[in-house]
Amino acid sequence: MILFLAAFLIGCGGNSGGTSAATPASVPPEDVWLQQNAHPISTSDPANTDYSDLQAFGDAVGNARIVLLGEESHGSGTTFDMKTRLVKYLHEQKGFDVLILETNFFVGNRIWQLAQTGQKVDDLAPNNIFYMYSKSAQGRNVLQYADSQRTTSNPLIVTAADSAAVGATDSVTDFFPLLESFLSGRSSPTLASSNWAIYKNLALNALFPYPPTLTNPPQNQIDAFNAVSDSLVGELCGPQPDTYVFPNSPSFWCRTVKSLRAQADPTFNPSVISTRDIESAANAQWLLDHAYPGHKFIFWGAIIHVGRYDAPWVASPSMATEMALNYGSQMYSVNMTASSGTDLDYVDLSTYTIPGDEQGSVEDVLHQVNQPVLFVDARNTSPPGSLFDMLAKNWGFTYVPNFLNSLGTAYDGLFYFQTNYPATMNR
């Protein structure tokens, strides 16, 4: 029946945005809605600058200030290419000019500061920005695009909001010199604390490197770390004059100290639930409200962070869930999925085959449209409630047990690929 529906809709032009023709009553309404609202996209190739095929996506984004581009895998070359094409479109056609990567907050701000001296983000990225973005050919495309725009009248600012030390090894050597210089200029009593050396040692050896060189520090050192952290929060996080310009901003250092604590607590005590996404959302709010007020933002990261998730398989509310409390309708979140192909495991860099579609799943229904790339918007349309009961692939292009479709709930739009190809590492 689904195959019949696909032929019927294609013959009537249904996959280009709707049809008034009758549909067999026995076809599930969610299948009808998906196929009628599936817009063909000509290519995921970021080199293609004919953006006419992205009109439906642009209309869906509308007047949103924040677009969140998710990924079900950190190793999907198809996804990275599509996201780069969307970044270019949003930057060139829709006025978005800040790109926030799933990478450490301090590192992102530091790299953009260095880029203003003439250095290239792509050159600074290895061992700073998350390696799947900085060491894969497809991930690097967006960094190279930002470099090409840096000296134009419309640069694409690159920064980060993650509270975790994702990808950070090299720029972290600048962390304490810059923090200590800032604190010294304020005659900080915390900097003079006898516990400062312990705080610094645990940060550099237990939190920033991966894997850490220091594991299971003694409790007295953890207590000393927490005491310094609390003291810094007291100094930096209260109302006070602020430039909001890195690195001479007390509220910026407040955010970095809180981010460090959010990483430390579950590291030192595995029973503690991570607040990574909650602190990442606060970092993002600092960028939105203070560092770049009035700008339009693109977030690039895993869908479990940039989708509005608050589910049993997510340790805490996602970054987007927290952000939605303040920005709500200003946000438009997108996910990417695929029916078949291969992908790169970002942990061990092995290639694996993407599991096939479950019958009646979102991917299965979209596959019947027989187009290589599709876009579906559930934000500005009226999907049937049964859409939310469909199976859909989640992290790693797999079906998570007891977790159903999130199109229209956790994310607003979906890009579908018939076939996925893996990212290729070139550094």
Nearest to 166 by CA among 31, 279, 42: 279
The pLDDT assigned to 301 comes to 97
Specify the amino acid at residue 280: S
Q: Which domains does the chain have, with CATH numbers?
A: 2-163+294-420 (3.40.1660.10), 171-274 (no CATH)
Q: 94-103, 166-175, 177-186, 243-252: lowest mean pLDDT where?
A: 166-175
Short-list 226, 229, 236, 227, CA closest to 286: 236
Confidence of residue 320 (pLDDT cuts 50, 70, 90): very high
Whether residue 14 has pLDDT greater than 80: no
Question: In the prediction, which pLDDT does 279 show?
Answer: 95
Whole-number percent of the chain with pLDDT over 90: 81
**309-318, 390-399, 400-409: which has the highest mean pLDDT?**
390-399
Q: What is the DSSP letter of 365?
A: H
Give me the chain's average pLDDT, please.
91
As a whole number of Å, the end-to-end CA separation of the chain is: 48
Over the stretch 161-186, which tens digit does the pLDDT of each residue have?
A: 999 876 666 667 899 999 999 999 99
When pLDDT is averaged across residues 120-141 and rounded to a whole number, the result is: 96
Query: What pLDDT, on a 0 to 100 scale, did the predictor assign at position 316?
Result: 77
**Out of 12-21, 29-38, 46-55, 271-280, least confident range:** 12-21
Q: How confident is the model at residue 348 (pLDDT cuts 50, 70, 90)?
A: very high
More confident of the two residues 25 and 96: 96
pLDDT band at residue 22, thresholds of 50, 70 and 90? very low
Cβ–Cβ < 8 Å for 353, 297: no
Q: Which helix (H) or strand (E) holds 202?
A: helix 196-202
* Mean pLDDT of the region 87-102: 98
Residue 401 confidence (pLDDT): 78
Task: From 54, 112, 31, 101, select the one nearest 364 (Cα to Cα).
Answer: 31
CB 336 within 8 A of CB 70: yes
Which backbone phi and psi does 8 adopt, to 5 degrees?
-60, -50
Q: Which of 101, 56, 71, 135 is nearest to 420 (CA)?
A: 71
**What local confidence, expressed as pLDDT, does residue 206 receive?**
81
Peptide bond into 209 cis (omega under 30): no
> Is the distance from CB of 89 to CB of 51 less than 8 angstroms?
yes
Burial (CB < 10 A; 0-12, 13-18, 19+), residue 357, is buried
Alpha carbon 356 to chain centroid, angstroms: 25
Query: What is the DSSP secondary-structure string of 141-178?
Result: HHHHHHHHHTTSSS--EEEEEESS-TT-SSGGGGHHHH
Give the per-residue pLDDT at 24. 56
pLDDT at residue 271 in the model: 87
* pLDDT at position 124: 95
Residue 278: pLDDT over 80: yes
**Cβ-based neighbours of 54, under 8 Å, separated by 6 or more:** 41, 85, 86, 89, 375
Greater pLDDT, 215 or 22: 215
Q: Is 139 within 8 Å of 80 (Cβ atoms)? A: yes
pLDDT, mean of residues 3-31: 49
Does residue 247 have a cis bond before it (omega within 30 degrees)?
Answer: yes
In DSSP terms, which residues pair with 51 in a beta bridge? none
Percent of the chain with pLDDT over 70: 91
- How confident is residue 222, by pLDDT bands cut at 50, 70 and 90? very high
Phi/psi region, residue 283 (left: phi>0; alpha: psi -120 to 50; beta: rest), is alpha
How far is Cα 146 from Cα 243, in angstroms, rounded to an integer? 25
pLDDT attached to residue 211: 66
CA distance 173 to 367: 48
State residue 403's pLDDT score: 75
State yes or no: pLDDT of 5 exceeds 60: no
Is the per-residue pLDDT at 95 higher than 80? yes
Contact present, 336 and 138 (Cβ < 8 Å): no
The CA distance from 66 to 327, in Å, is: 8
Structure-token pair, residue 313: 């398989």
Beta carbons within 8 Å of 287's beta carbon, 6+ residues apart:
98, 100, 159, 161, 297
Predicted local confidence at residue 2, as pLDDT: 33
Mean pLDDT of the region 346-365: 96
Mean pLDDT in residue range 313-342: 92
pLDDT (0 to 100) of residue 314: 56
At residue 3, does pLDDT exceed 70? no
